[in-house]
Structure 1
Amino acid sequence: MANFVLVAGARLGAGAWADVVPHLRAAGHGAHPLTLSGLAEKRGVPAGQQTHVRDIVDEVVSRDLHDVVLVGHSYAGIPAGQAAQRIGDRLARVVFVDSSVPADGEAFVAAWPDGGVMMTEVFAANGGFWPPSPAAHFAGHGLTDEQIARIVAGATPHPGATLTEPAALVRPLGELPATYVHCTLPGDELSEDVAGLLAGGRWRLVELDTGHWPMFSQPRELARVLLDAAAE
């Protein structure tokens, strides 16, 4: 039996996985959706990026989970990639779902074209947070109006410090056993860092014909990918 620890991207909490969890549990596995500090029902808890790394490690250790398939979506790929290096032989595999990946000493915003200058200004204007996006932001990602409404309703402001604090890797990321799920609907190419990691031989690429929020748009298909990853 695998234990899936599921971490959604910026602004979202554990509820983002509501349509995926039943498929994993029906297959006989443990499913543990996690809300990171400062988000959803944990709104108001101070958080930096390393707080989120500890959130994930603590979830694994406090529940005494083994055969862990750690799933990080979007922003959450950054703390998930770091946490995966810190849980030792409890880890079976990491699945990065259309996500960023950590680079040692670099922050999430460093990958933005302006190096994060605009994002820093957004944080300053919003009390240190990245505000939720309007419904129009989710157009073109294979989502129904109902699914978009659920995302918008479940979103909370995201602590800006988690996006500006640098990642800290303890060894090369490419050494992790990993699956990268690329959502192709928006038409974006794989980033250079992800392409390089895939070329290293330990990472596997899976493509889903949907947008950036597959846990809403294609939960059954995403669950199938996660189950396949657990079987590797």
Structure 2
Amino acid sequence: MANYVLVAGAWLGSWAWEEVAAQLRAAGHDAHPLTLSGLAERQGVPAGQQTHVRDIVAEVERLDLREVVLVGHSYAGIPVGQAAERIGDRLARVVFVDANVPVDGGSFVSGWPDGRAMVEAAIAAHDGFWPPLTAADCAGQGLDAEQIARIVAGATPHPGATLTEPAELAARLSELPAVYVKCLLDGEDPGPEVAALLKGERWSLVRMPTGHWPMFSQPAELAQVLLGVAVGASVAGVRA
């Protein structure tokens, strides 16, 4: 039995994983969707990037979890990647779902040069928060109108410090046992940092024919990918 710790990306909370978590539990595993500080029901809690790393590590330790599959979507790949190396032998594998990956000394915005100025300006104009998604931001990502409405209604402002503070890695990310899930409607290229990691023996790539929020657009398919990770199925067998 695996213990999945599921962390959604910017603006979202544990609620985003409801459908995926239900399918993981139905297959006999435990699923622990986690809301990071400052988001969803935890709005008002001050948060920087290292706060989010501590949130994840603390949840694993509080529940005394073993055989942990840490899953980080989008922004959450940055704190999840750092937390993965801090939980030691509790980790079975880390899964990055169309995610940013941490770079030692780098931040979310430094890894997004084309959008850095836009994100920083938005944070400055909204009292230190990145304003939530709009329906237009979700267009072209394989989502129907109901799914888009659900994402927009649940999204909350994202603490800006989590996006600008640097990551802290103690070792090379390539040493982690990892799967990267690339959602093709959000672009076929996983980016240069991920491409370099995928050259190593411990990283594998899975492609999904959907958009950036597969927990909404293809929850059953994403759950199957995660189940394959837990049971040790050949990741090559689910590659596109």
TM-score category by the smaller chain?
A: over 0.9
Deviations 1:37-91 (A, max 9, x none): 0000000100000000000000000000000000000000000000000001100
> What is the distance in 1 between the residues matched to 2:217 and 2:17?
11
Deviation per CA, 1:3-40, whole angstroms, max 9, x where unpaired?
00000000000000011011100110000000000000
Query: Does the alignment pair 1:101 with 2:112?
Result: no
Counterpart residue identity of residue 66, structure 1: R
1:18-167 matched pairs, under 5 angstroms: 18-114=18-114, 116-167=116-167
Normalised by the length of structure 1, the TM-score is 0.98
What is the DSSP-based 3-state SS (H/G/I as helix, E as strand, rest coil) of the residue aligned with 1:137? helix
Report deviation, 1:187. Answer: 3.0
Paired with 1:150 and 1:116, the residues of 2 have a C-alpha distance of: 27
- In the alignment, the residues of structure 2 paired with residue 42 and residue 147 of structure 1 have an alpha-carbon distance, to the nearest angstrom, of 23
Where does residue 196 of structure 2 map in the other structure? Answer: 196
Helix, strand or coil at the partner of 1:185: helix
Distance of 1:68 and 1:187 partners within structure 2: 29
Say yes or no: does 1:16 pair with 2:12: no
1:128 and 1:186 map into 2 onto residues whose CA distance is: 27
119-128 or 39-48, which deviates more: 119-128
- Distance in 2 (alpha carbons) for counterparts of 1:185 and 1:210: 5
Counterpart for residue 236 of structure 2: none
* 1:229 aligned partner, one-letter code: V
Q: Which residue of 1 aligns with 2:237?
A: none
Aligned residue for 1:109, secondary structure, equals coil
Alignment check: 8 A CA contact 2:182 2:188 kept: no
CA–CA distance in structure 2, aligned partners of residues 72 and 54 of structure 1 = 14
Deviation at 1:118, TM superposition (A): 2.8
Please report the RMSD computed on the Cα atoms of aligned residues, expressed in angstroms: 0.9
CA shift for structure 1 position 169: 0.3
User: For residue 174 of structure 1, what is the aligned residue in structure 2?
Assistant: 174
Q: Does the residue aligned with 1:6 lie in a helix, a strand or coil?
A: strand
Give the Cα separation in 1 of the matches to 2:227 and 2:119.
36
Partner of 1:19, secondary structure, is helix
Taking structure 2 as the reference length, the TM-score comes to 0.95
CA distance in 1, matches of 2:163, 2:214: 22
Moved more, 114-123 or 174-183: 114-123
Q: Report the alpha carbon displacement of residue 115 of structure 1 after superposing the two structures with TM.
A: 7.3
Where does residue 3 of structure 1 map in the other structure?
3
Indicate the SS of the match to 2:66: coil
2:169 maps to amino acid:
L
Equivalent position of 1:215 in the other structure? 215
SS at match of 1:111: coil
- Between the aligned partners of 2:80 and 2:112, the Cα distance in structure 1 is 20
User: Following TM superposition, by how much is the alpha carbon of 1:114 offset from its aligned partner in structure 2, in angstroms?
Assistant: 4.7
Structure 1: unaligned runs, 5 residues or longer:
none
Paired-residue identity, %:
69
The one-letter code of the counterpart of 1:65 is L
